Amino acid sequence: MNKKIFLQGKFVIISGASSGIGKATAEVFGRAGASLVLAARNTQQLDEVVLSLQKEGIQAIGVKTDVSIEQDCKNLIDVALSTYGKIDIFINNAGISMRALFEDVSLEVLKQVMNINFWGTVYCTKYALPHLLQSKGTLIGISSIAGKKGLPGRSGYSASKFAMEGFLECIRIENRKKGLTVLSVCPGFTASNIRNSALAADGSQQGESPRNEKNMMPAITVAENILKAVRQQKRDLILTPNGKITVWLNKWMPAFVDKLVYKHLAKEENSPFK
C-alpha cells in the first residue's frame, strides 16, 4: 500500500500534539491521509500546529486537553466522535519527565508525573477503547526505555512508564480476539522539549536540557517509524540500537546494566548523582 495514502479515511487522535513527537506524528500521519484530532494543554502552540497542518490541506482540529483530568479526556473523545464519527487510532503521547534523586524529590512531583503519563493514558484509553474496538483500530502508547529499565534520577518517570507498559500489555491481551492492535513505542532520547520541561526536585521546570539535543534522533524520524509500525501492526517498537541492547542485556546481566546506566547518566551535566 502506498504509504502516502495509507491512512486515507482514517481518524486519528494524538495527545501532547503541540510539540515534539506529538507534533511530528501529526505531520507524518496527516500527510499519510489521516484526519486528525490534536490535544494539548498549550492552546497557543496547539492552534499553530493545527493551522500549519490545515495549510498543507490536512484535516485537523485542536482540543484543549489536560490528560491528567478525566473529564478533559472524555471531552476529547466526545469532540472527536462528534466531528468524525469514529476513531481508528489513538496515540497516547502526552507526557512529562522529572530529574532528581528520590530522597530529594517532592512526592507531589511524582504524583504529577504519574497523573499525566500513566493516568492520562488510562483515562484516554477508557473512553477511546469502545470505539477502537468497533473500528478494529490501533491503540498506541509512547513509552520509553525508562519503562523497561529503571533510570536513576528519574524514579517518577520510570515508574510511570513501567505502569504504562503493564497497562497496555493487559489491554492487548484482554482484547487479543477483538481485532485491536496495541503498540508500545520506546523512542530513546529524542530531540524534543520534554527534558526542558522536566520537573526538578521542587516541582519547578529544570529549564536547559542536560543533553546535547543535536545528537539525538529527530522527532520526525520517530514519527515516521511509528507510522511504519502501524502499517506492520507491530506490538513493540524500540527505536535506538542502545535501547535494544539495554533491554536485551538487562534480561541476562541486570547488575551489569545497572552499572552501565549509572555511569552513563552520571555523566550528564549537573547530574544529581555521581
Catalytic residues: 157
For residue 42, what are the CA distances in angstroms to 30, 38, 65, 172, 187? 20, 11, 9, 31, 23
Cell of 93: 503521547
Concatenating the DSSP letter of every residue in 53-74 gives: HHHTT--EEEEE--TTSHHHHH
SS3 assignment, position 93: coil
* Closest listed residue to residue 222, CA positions, set 12, 54, 10, 23: 23
Instruction: For the chain, count helices (H), then strands (E).
Output: 9, 9
* Closest listed residue to residue 199, CA positions, set 156, 241, 146, 169: 156
133 CB neighbour count, 10 Å cutoff: 14
* Closest listed residue to residue 142, CA positions, set 246, 77, 236: 236
CA angle 123, 239, 34 (to 5 degrees): 55
Maximum CA pair distance of the chain?
Answer: 53
The whole-angstrom distance between residue 58's C-alpha and the CA centroid of its chain comes to 22
Q: Which residue has the cell 552513563?
A: 264
